[in-house]
Structure 1
């Protein structure tokens, strides 16, 4: 299953660029544009697109809504409308948080469809789509900017589109060999410290359990190894 994004009748180029950037953030590349505004390479669409200006935005395809409906399992993305089961066009809807799980069993390519900034997707357009996704928001002001709405939905669908994610500054669990090296340096540190020989094995086991619970990153292990090495060297120099 692949996931595409369609933007219907966007009114401002900047929002198209913002959506392209969000697609790049969350592992999508297939952007479909229905009745788009002019996207000048020197204009705000490319200015807002970030690195998506290099591939997602220039590779976008202009299509019709008929093409989207005929070739994809479609999800219409709209604001919460406060309507209920008596208003069948927009009800029931899924939230973005539920969408990724519910799409797991779909045996077809999926297209997330976003509407125009001022009025979203019309009831007639929504009636043609397979399912509806709505973003719960404050009843005082439930309408999101088009680019913001797309970012929220694409973020929640990241499990479908991104094989590996990383938080800013995140480092993954340290290599087991590096962790073992840290244990060896801790043992050397105990010797340099003059820790009683009969207590070293027990202290080493306590250290191993502590480190196992901590699940240190590669950077953390490298830092600790450097500290223990310098401490052991300093203590040996002081003893001389």
Structure 2
């Protein structure tokens, strides 16, 4: 299942526009983090079209942590001024590449969009599993929030519209609990090997991006956790 989250939306009308696009392309679950007031008589419902009957009124207000704990998260951002030396907004997939990758895996995925003014912060993106960006003119790559969401959701239509016949996913992705446990184990491993403290956050982001693109199974995640745990125990025992 693919859900949509909007973090810190500043304009009710954009929330309504996103709800309408969700209805257009077969998505139902809308999650809102720190949303503006959505007056049933205001612009959010006015912009939502037929989505004012189900998607918008059924939306749920959640915390950012709820997204991390319960979904495979994809941060959608226009700004990708990073390269292989940095791992906050890089590497990223285009919306079409993202749709192709998700077709091969069974996972509850949440597409996360940020604020109209600043989008998602680097701190927020660092906690998300993958990054998606829309190719646009370098002279003006920033899209309106509602426009950006519509483009991304359009590319997801092959996964969300009932009329589309999809092959069975090739594997089930590990639960978010196992994935986050793997990240915690990796962080503990970095401490055990005395990885430079100032480089641990960057290493963690690099590892999160790698795992996010790989979609490990439960068995793979458990095995990797076990390897890091045993390595850490060996290192700890030699330090005594």
How high is the TM-score relative to the length of structure 1? 0.67
Are residues 1:17 and 2:16 paired?
yes
Within 1, Cα distance between the matches of 2:118 and 2:79?
Answer: 13
TM-score of the superposed pair, with normalisation by structure 2: 0.67
For 1:70, the equivalent position in structure 2 comes to: 69
Instruction: Describe the superposition over 1:28-73 as per-residue Cα deviations: whole angstroms up to 9, x where unpaired.
Output: 0100000000000000000000000000000000000100110000
Instruction: Work out whether residues 80 and 135 of structure 1, in 8 Å CA contact, stay in contact via their aligned partners in 2.
Output: no
Q: Which residue of 1 aligns with 2:2?
A: 3
1:129 aligns with 2:128: yes
Larger radius of gyration: 1
**1-structure distance, mates of 2:124, 2:104:** 24
CA distance in 1, matches of 2:9, 2:85: 30
Equivalent residues in 2 for 1:175-194 (5 A)? none
Task: Describe the superposition over 1:86-129 as per-residue Cα deviations: whole angstroms up to 9, x where unpaired.
Answer: 22111000001111111123332010000000000000100101
Deviation for aligned residue 1:141: 0.6
Residue aligned with 1:5, SS: strand
Instruction: Tell me the residue number matched to 1:119.
Output: 118
CA distance in 2, matches of 1:107, 1:29: 17
Q: Is the 8 A contact 1:80 1:136 kept in 2?
A: no
Q: Judge conservation of contact 1:3–1:110 (CA < 8 Å) in 2.
A: yes
Name the CA distance, whole Å, in 2 between partners of 1:86 and 1:107. 31
Once residues 97 and 79 of structure 2 are traced to their aligned partners in structure 1, the CA distance between those partners, rounded to angstroms, is 15
| 8 Å CA contact 1:90, 1:132 repeated in 2 | yes
Q: Is the 8 A contact 1:95 1:133 kept in 2?
A: yes
Which has the larger displacement, 97-106 or 148-157? Answer: 97-106
Q: Which residue does the alignment assign to 1:206?
A: none
Deviations 1:198-217 (A, max 9, x none): xxxxxxxxxxxxxxxxxxxx
Distance in 2 between residues matched to 1:164 and 1:80, nearest whole Å: 34
Tell me the SS of whatever aligns to 2:154: helix
Task: Provide the rounded CA distance (Å) in 2 between the counterparts of 1:123 and 1:66.
Answer: 15
- The corresponding residue for 1:86 is 85
Name the structure 2 match of 1:33: 32
User: What's the C-alpha RMSD, in Å, of the aligned pairs?
Assistant: 1.0
| CA distance, structure 2, for counterparts of residue 44 and residue 107 of structure 1 | 36
2-structure distance, mates of 1:57, 1:114 = 16
